Amino acid sequence: MRATGVMWAAVFHPFRAADVSPRPAPVPPAALVVRRVVPTRSGRKETRCCLPAASGGKLTLPIWWVVRADRVDRPPARLSVRLAFAEFLDTPREVFFVYVAASTASFPNLPLAEALAKLVDLEFTRVEIDIHESADQLKPSQVAADIDKAVEICRNTLRLTPIAYNVQIEAEGDEYYRQFAAICRLAKATKVVTLVVPAGELGTPFNAEVERLRELVGIATVESAVVAVKTEGGRVTQDPDTVQVLCDNVKGLGITFDPSYFVYGENAGRSYDHILKYTHHVHLRDTNKDQLQVRVGQGEIEYGRLVNQLAQVKYNRALTVHMVPMPDIDQMAELRKLRLLLESLL
């Protein structure tokens, strides 16, 4: 079941789904197990409750029941509850909560507060915040200089829930790691887990890149954050085989999967199935073989297929709309179209 941002699943014991109307079960269930999965900024919280089943192999689940950790309540009338997954399952199955988010990179020329207001107008509920030295929204040097002010800024997000920070640091040497450590403290203070970082440019020695990512992962782990290196053209991670080797050599490293670079560029058409298991974050836009970004519906990204592929590796985090403005195109309309498309698939 799903109610106001909370995902529910009702299943017979052993793991058979329930429906609003009574329907026969092959084996009379002993109890109804209802799982409640609540998304949080640091991941998800799951509670379960068992209800006795009716005799005779049938079960009626009143739709006004809301199951919590230790009791059954009747919610206010305004709370909308509906049953989902109304099919019989012969094997155990988990419920994974995937949600749609947007990046503040969608409005790179606006201050952070105005970019967030635009995303609220578009009815997004979760946001990835860019922390780029070359941008005007929030800079790594600002975070390192005044962590308390940065925390205040990232908490004042107009009802949007931050789910990731996209980090690009231009400093070098020890200052690079000092600024990254400050961003990790910011992430912990604002209950954000995912830190998106770019890979080294093509030509970077592989061993040097492994050492850099190991250092970043070590710093992030102390603050309970996860480093997700982005798959991107022109960088070490443009080759899916290299991505796999990196993740195998850097314990705890995840990836920010961007399928556009497997449609456009020199790796167009390459298989990426073997790296999906490392996915910790996703960036999406529409793309064709000639342009990295086109209007929604004019590209070749198969969103339905991608969602199914991610479900197979038990991905349960954000699908982030990451679209930069295009000349003479209504950016608000494009963002709204992609949000509605992705939500229809979920």
pLDDT at 27 > cutoff 70:
no
Q: Using CB atoms within 10 A of its CB, is residue 298 exposed (0-12), middle (13-18) or buried (19+)? A: exposed
CATH for 99-345 (3.20.20.150, 3.50.50.60, 3.10.20.600, 3.40.50.1860): 3.20.20.150
d(CA 180, CA 165): 11
Reported as a pLDDT band with limits 50, 70 and 90, residue 45 is low
d(CA 18, CA 175): 56
Local structure of 238: helix, strand or coil: helix
Position 136 scores a pLDDT of 85
Q: How many helices (H) and strands (E) does the chain have?
A: 8, 15
Reported as a pLDDT band with limits 50, 70 and 90, residue 60 is very low
d(CA 163, CA 318): 8
Residue 13 and residue 30 in contact, taking contact as beta carbons nearer than 8 Å: yes
What distance lies between CA 283 and its chain's CA centroid?
9
pLDDT at 115 > cutoff 50:
yes
Position 346 scores a pLDDT of 80
17 vs 270, residue with greater confidence: 270
Position 39 scores a pLDDT of 52
Q: Which residue has the tokens 């250092």?
A: 215
Residue 325 and residue 108 in contact, taking contact as beta carbons nearer than 8 Å: yes
d(CA 230, CA 199): 6
Q: DSSP letters of 285-345? A: -B--SS-S-B-TTSS---HHHHHHHHHHTT--SEEEE-----TTS-HHHHHHHHHHHHHHH
Position 268 scores a pLDDT of 87
Position 267 scores a pLDDT of 85
- The count of residues in the chain is 346
Condensed to tens digits (0 to 9), the pLDDT of residues 324-342 reads 999 999 999 999 999 999 9
Phi, psi values for residue 235, rounded to 5°:
-130, 170
* Over residues 288-298, mean pLDDT: 93
pLDDT at 32 > cutoff 80:
no
Residues pairing with 103 in the sheet: 128
Domain extents in the chain: 2-73, 99-345
* Over residues 225-249, mean pLDDT: 94
pLDDT at 302 > cutoff 70:
yes
pLDDT at 305 > cutoff 70:
yes
d(CA 310, CA 304): 10
pLDDT at 256 > cutoff 70:
yes
Position 44 scores a pLDDT of 52
pLDDT at 135 > cutoff 90:
no
Helix, strand, coil percentages, rounded to 5, for the chain: 30, 25, 45
Residue 220 and residue 253 in contact, taking contact as beta carbons nearer than 8 Å: no
Position 43 scores a pLDDT of 56
In whole angstroms, how far apart are CA 336 and each of 225, 299, 330, 333?
Answer: 30, 16, 10, 5
pLDDT at 57 > cutoff 50:
no
d(CA 141, CA 179): 6
Position 265 scores a pLDDT of 86
Closest CA to 118 of 150, 176, 158, 178: 158
Condensed to tens digits (0 to 9), the pLDDT of residues 63-101 reads 333 333 333 333 333 333 333 333 333 334 444 578 999
Lowest mean pLDDT among 27-41, 153-167, 170-184: 27-41
Condensed to tens digits (0 to 9), the pLDDT of residues 165-211 reads 999 999 999 999 999 999 999 999 999 999 999 999 999 999 999 99
pLDDT at 41 > cutoff 80:
no
Half-sphere exposure of 273 (CA within 13 A, CB side): 5
Local structure of 138: helix, strand or coil: coil
Lowest mean pLDDT among 31-45, 120-134, 179-193, 264-278: 31-45
Closest CA to 51 of 41, 40, 65, 38: 65
* Over residues 232-237, mean pLDDT: 93
Mean pLDDT of the chain: 79
Q: Which residue has the tokens 């887990």?
A: 193
pLDDT at 16 > cutoff 50:
no
Position 111 scores a pLDDT of 94
Closest CA to 180 of 158, 212, 134: 212
Residue 287 and residue 260 in contact, taking contact as beta carbons nearer than 8 Å: yes
298 vs 14, residue with greater confidence: 298
* Over residues 18-41, mean pLDDT: 44
pLDDT at 313 > cutoff 60:
yes
Write the CB contacts of 273 (distance below 8 Å, at least 6 apart in sequence): 309
